[in-house]
Every structure is written in C-alpha cells, then in structure tokens.
Chain A
Amino acid sequence: MKAKVIITPKPEVLDPQGKTVQTALEHMGCTGVGEVRVGKYIEIEMDGDADTVKAKLSEYADKFLANPNIEDYRLKLED
C-alpha cells in the first residue's frame, strides 16, 4: 500500500515561500491567484491494511514527519 503524507504550514505560520510563489505567479500574468502555501509531500510504501497503516503513520507523523508547532498534515492511502 502506498501512503501519501501532505504537510502544510499551519495557517498562523508565516510562509515566505508561498508568498514568493504567489508574487511570481502574478508577475507571470497568472490572474485570480489567491494565497499560496508551500508544504511537503512524502510517499511511503507500507505493508498492512488501511486501518493499521493509518494508525501507524499518524503516530509517526505526529512525532517525526510533521512538527506540530508549525505544520499540519493529511494522510491519503492508495492500494
């Protein structure tokens, strides 16, 4: 099973990378751009059923893959 971990800066955390990408898009002529946030994306191959993988990865995302002081994360599973 493939697990996807999507990590984003918490809403209250300043994201200068996102701001810079937003400005660059506007400079390129891309219209209608709203706020941009830049995060991380991790793919993990893992054995086990969906519930087990989700439980295990939540535990390790909380203590390692994401930093709860500054980041939120979402898990997505794919067979």
Chain B
Amino acid sequence: MKFAVLQFPGSNCDQDCVHVLQNVLGHPTRLLWHKESVLGDVDAVLVPGGFSYGDYLRTGSIARFSPVMQAVKEFADQGGLVLGICNGFQILCEAGLLPGALIRNRSLQFRCEHVYLKVATQDSPFTQAIPEGKLLRIPIAHGEGNYFCDAATLEELEAKDQILFQYADRDGDVTDHANPNGSLKNIAGICNTARNVAGMMPHPERAAEPALNEDDGRLIFESLIAGLNPAPAPA
C-alpha cells in the first residue's frame, strides 16, 4: 500500500506520519510538498498536523487553496482514502471535504495531554480493524479542536453514523468532564458520507509503536491498510 503525506509550510507532524507508515508498518510513503499538483500513484493520503501557513486567518483556511489540496479533492471525489490529523482535520473542514469547523477550545487553553477515545463505529476504513469495545489512549495537542456544526449537520452525522471517535473517560463513558475542548457530542473524529475521508484531532502517529509503550494509534493505520489489502479468503 502506498501513502502520501502532505507537507505545508508549518506542518510539523509530517515526519512522524512518514516514520510510522514507512519504518513501523513497512509501507512505501512519500512526502508531497504543498506546491505539487499531482498526487501520483498513491492509495491513501494523510494530511498531517501542525500550523500550516501559521494558522493565519483561521486554522486550515490558507492550506485549502494550495495546489496539492486541489489534487486531494479530486482524489477524494474519486473515492480515494484521505485522513486528516489535527491541523489536517481543520484543513479538510475548511476545504469542504468534511462538514463543520474546529473552533477555539472552550478553555482557551492549548491542550496537550493523553485522552481516551471511544470508537463510535467500526464501519469505516479508518476504524474497521479496531476490536469492538476497545478504548484508544492517544495524545491530543491543539488550541482549536472544538468541533462545531449546525444542528441539522449534527443530526445528519449521527443518522449516517459518521462520528468515528468521541472523547471518553477511562471507563469509556462519554462525559462532559472527559471533553478536552468543548466539542459537540465529544466529537474527536468524523468521516464524510461516502466514508472515504476522515478527520480526527488526536494524534495516532504519536502512539503507534511499542518503543513508546503505547500503540493504540497503530490500529487506525492498520484499519486503512486492511481495507486496501484484504486478507485472502480461506481456501
């Protein structure tokens, strides 16, 4: 499986994504500079975290107009898999590839800590390899991760099973106390209606190898890989 990881001026989680995909999981991975207008031969695109274009105007608002994002839009329209992490999630919302927006954390603080994630659905290429009932422990690091959308959009997200991850406590209960940023319904990650584009604020690439004593994030990448390389049917 071939991955592309986008790189904008101000991206800072791009190399972490490349490391996990290439060195930990063993899949060929290329960095794609924001000025590239062709993705080339890739199976999935990662839009990494960071502070693209200095977060000027609004987080992700400038990055969406870069040449590489036009190519990502075409790729997504054709069913290609796209995962946005943190700033990548903000970019995908600004680009209209995902509904809603990420606004300032309700505490006004930059939150950098580990959270527990309830996996709200396994029915997506991003969550299908996660064992049922498994609670993920993954770090967050953001100032603008407060997911907001209007009431009609939220209703649609729920009706179409588009909520992938919700902030929960260590028992898996989705409570206001466990919500680090004020997101509606504790939303930490969603996908589009076609289920090929997803965004999440937590950083799975920072918790994806045993050397770090935590590898829950790896399950998200393994979900993607499992979807593209289905296990051979039993003889």
Contacts and interface: CB of A to CB of B under 8 A. Distances in A.
B223 interface: no
Nearest to B57: A65
A: contact size bracket:
10 to 19
Interface residues of B, number: 20
B148 A17 contact: no
Contacts of B148: 13-14, 69-70
B149 A16 contact: no
A13 B153 CA distance: 14
Nearest to A69: B101
A69 B99 CA distance: 9
Given A12-B150, A14-B146, A14-B182, A67 B108 contact: no
Nearest to A68: B101
Contacts of B160: none
A13 B103 contact: yes
B114 interface: no
A67 to B, nearest CB: 6
B149 A69 contact: yes
Nearest to A10: B150
A64 B62 CA distance: 8
Given A16-B182, A65-B57, A70-B101, 12 more contacts: A14-B103, A14-B182, A16-B106, A16-B107, A16-B108, A17-B108, A20-B108, A40-B57, A64-B65, A69-B99, A69-B101, A70-B148
Interface of A: 9, 12-14, 16-17, 20, 40, 64-65, 67, 69-70
